[in-house]
Structure 1
């Protein structure tokens, strides 16, 4: 049982790391001379890189704010889920453990799903509005989807683990 708990903690910490990287790093949409995330656009020239915040001037600012908010909320919920897991591990009796942690992880999973789904459905409009040529999804966007899978699996593991000795 100790090995299972250690695996779950490592899996949870990995989920938190993936969420932090996906939320902070500037690689949701990348091209040969630019990169775009949910916070700013960076255009690379031969000598410098010019980064500008995605402001309220864009037509899709509310959608971008929704993506920002749900990614931040997901990261906060995932961190809180780990603290809740540690608390429940030592304070609650068997059968009551990990239900709250599982629910918190499921909410975190839902927030990542909302953010990544909104971005994937509206990315064409974002890039046309910002007048960016071509490009493809970057590793931060892929990490967001991987974090979705990890948080979902983690919530399922918590709900299964709640009755184990």
Structure 2
């Protein structure tokens, strides 16, 4: 049982790190001399690296908000798991933790879908590694949430 709990905890920490990197990293889309993330659009020109704030369009603000919410819910889920680990009655399930984790999964999925549909695609840009990490974090977060539903505290 201890190995299962340790495995779930390590998986949760990996998911949290993936969400942090995908939210903060500067490569949601890459093309030529330009890299764009959720916060800045950076360009390399004349040997310099120049950044300007991301557009103030509604869709990018929605993606920013959803990624931050997914991060917060994943973090709250980790705190809830540790709290329930010590306070939950024997035989109880980690429903509270599971709900937070599944909500984090839904938020990161919605953010990635909005970015996929709304990001300008001029043929020269490609999706970067932060975008891919967001999509990798989605199924891992969902699986983690489902594991928390099944997991129960042993006697």
TM class, shorter-length: over 0.9
The equivalent residue for 2:47 is 47
Deviations 1:97-153 (A, max 9, x none): 3110001000000000110000011123xx56xxxx611000000000011111101
The equivalent position to 2:63 in structure 1, one of 54, 64, 67, is 67
The equivalent residue for 2:12 is 12
The equivalent residue for 1:160 is 150
Partners of 1:53 and 1:107 in 2: how far apart?
Answer: 28
The equivalent residue for 2:84 is 88
Secondary structure of the residue that 2:15 maps to in structure 1?
A: helix
The equivalent residue for 1:103 is 99
TM-score of the two chains, using structure 2 as the length reference:
0.94
Partners of 2:116 and 2:50 in 1: how far apart?
Answer: 25
The equivalent residue for 1:21 is 21
Which one is further off, 13-22 or 96-105?
96-105
CA gap 1:122/1:55 in 2 versus in 1, 3 angstroms = closer
Q: Is the 8 A contact 2:92 2:152 kept in 1?
A: yes
TM-score of the two chains, using structure 1 as the length reference:
0.89
Which one is further off, 3-12 or 94-103?
94-103
Secondary structure of the residue that 2:119 maps to in structure 1?
A: helix
Does residue 148 of structure 1 match 2:138? yes
List structure 1 runs of 4+ shifted beyond 2 angstroms: 94-97, 162-165
Partners of 1:8 and 1:45 in 2: how far apart?
Answer: 45
Secondary structure of the residue that 1:140 maps to in structure 2?
A: helix
Question: Unaligned stretches of 5+ in structure 2?
Answer: none
Q: Is the 8 A contact 1:99 1:162 kept in 2?
A: no
Partners of 2:32 and 2:62 in 1: how far apart?
Answer: 27
| Equivalences, count | 155
